[in-house]
Amino acid sequence: MENYFNITPDNIKPLLNPSNNDNAFLGSKSSIPSSDVEDIILMFTDRVVSALPPRYKKLISCIDGEWLCGRGKTNGGASGGETTFTTALKPISDLQLYKNFSGIWLERRPANRLVLNTDYTVNNTTGEITLTDALDEGDTLIAWYNHTGLSDCLLLKLLVVNLTASYLAGMVSLNPERMQFFARLEAQAYLDIARLKEDQATARINLKILDDINLVSETINDESPSVYKGYQGDIFQ
């Protein structure tokens, strides 16, 4: 299990301990070690990620083919002269960059990549990529990278925090009014998770930070005739 949203026991403390006592998870009869809280955070992080729609789930820690400049749903080819691009999510690691890639994306090879510090440099903290040579008109650019960019996604972070706090509230002795508060908090969290998967657009909660990423895997073939999202048998699926 991964702590994708960078949540710590200190994020839970204000909910369970409004008086800010040094014993972070003190109830009237018991307390919970911070190490146990960290395990519970991971448990609910895993549950929230598992409940996400398939598209969101596959973008949680890795972006497999983002059009930085190309013939995807919204981006056109280069106008000519561009040298700087920024990944949609950041910080990043293990960047792979492909210029004018053509063929089947799943069959790409290391030989197809641009070479770090020769063809480009990258700031992994900001996701800013600087090409050594400017693009020509019509050039395309695709990025593959790992990221930790969802640690600042407030909605997903709050879902995990609220579910963790509600779970912990059941492990210590709190007054009935506080327990009712946590019951409502938990119910709202599960309602929000359900709305992330809602079919009706008017009822659905969207994660714009992920919705705006332009993926090779979602490229319609007639918009980018030189790049296919999968093996030949998958092209029309």
The one-character DSSP state at 80 is S
Per-residue pLDDT, averaged over 25-48, amounts to 80
The one-character DSSP state at 75 is -
Quote the pLDDT of residue 41: 97
Instruction: Give 71's contacts (C-beta < 8 A, 6+ positions apart).
Output: 77, 140, 219, 223, 224, 226, 227
Arithmetic mean of pLDDT over the chain: 85
Q: How many CB atoms lie within 10 A of CB 168?
A: 23
Q: How far apart are CA 87 and CA 85, in angstroms?
A: 7
What's the alpha-carbon Rg for the chain, to the nearest Å? 22
Given a cut of 90, whether residue 39 has pLDDT beyond it is yes
Cβ atoms 114, 69 nearer than 8 A? no
Given a cut of 80, whether residue 73 has pLDDT beyond it is no
Burial 30-60 (b: 16+ CB within 10 A, else e): eebeeeebbebbbebbeebbeebeeebeebb
List, for residues 77-128, the tens digit of each pLDDT value. 899 999 999 999 999 999 999 999 988 998 899 888 999 999 999 999 999 9
Quote the pLDDT of residue 28: 44
Residue 72 — pLDDT band, cuts 50, 70, 90?
A: low
Given a cut of 60, whether residue 180 has pLDDT beyond it is yes
Q: How far apart are CA 25 and CA 16, in angstroms?
A: 6
| Higher-confidence position of 149 and 234 | 149
Residue 206 — pLDDT band, cuts 50, 70, 90?
A: confident
Compute the Cα dihedral for 166, 171, 175, 180 and give only its sign. Answer: positive
Given a cut of 90, whether residue 49 has pLDDT beyond it is yes
Torsion angles phi and psi, residue 87, rounded to 5: -65, 155
| Higher-confidence position of 192 and 18 | 192
Q: Which residue has the tokens 């600042």?
A: 152
Q: How far apart are CA 53 and CA 55, in angstroms?
A: 6
List, for residues 120-173, the tens digit of each pLDDT value. 999 999 999 999 999 999 999 999 999 999 988 999 999 999 999 999 988 877
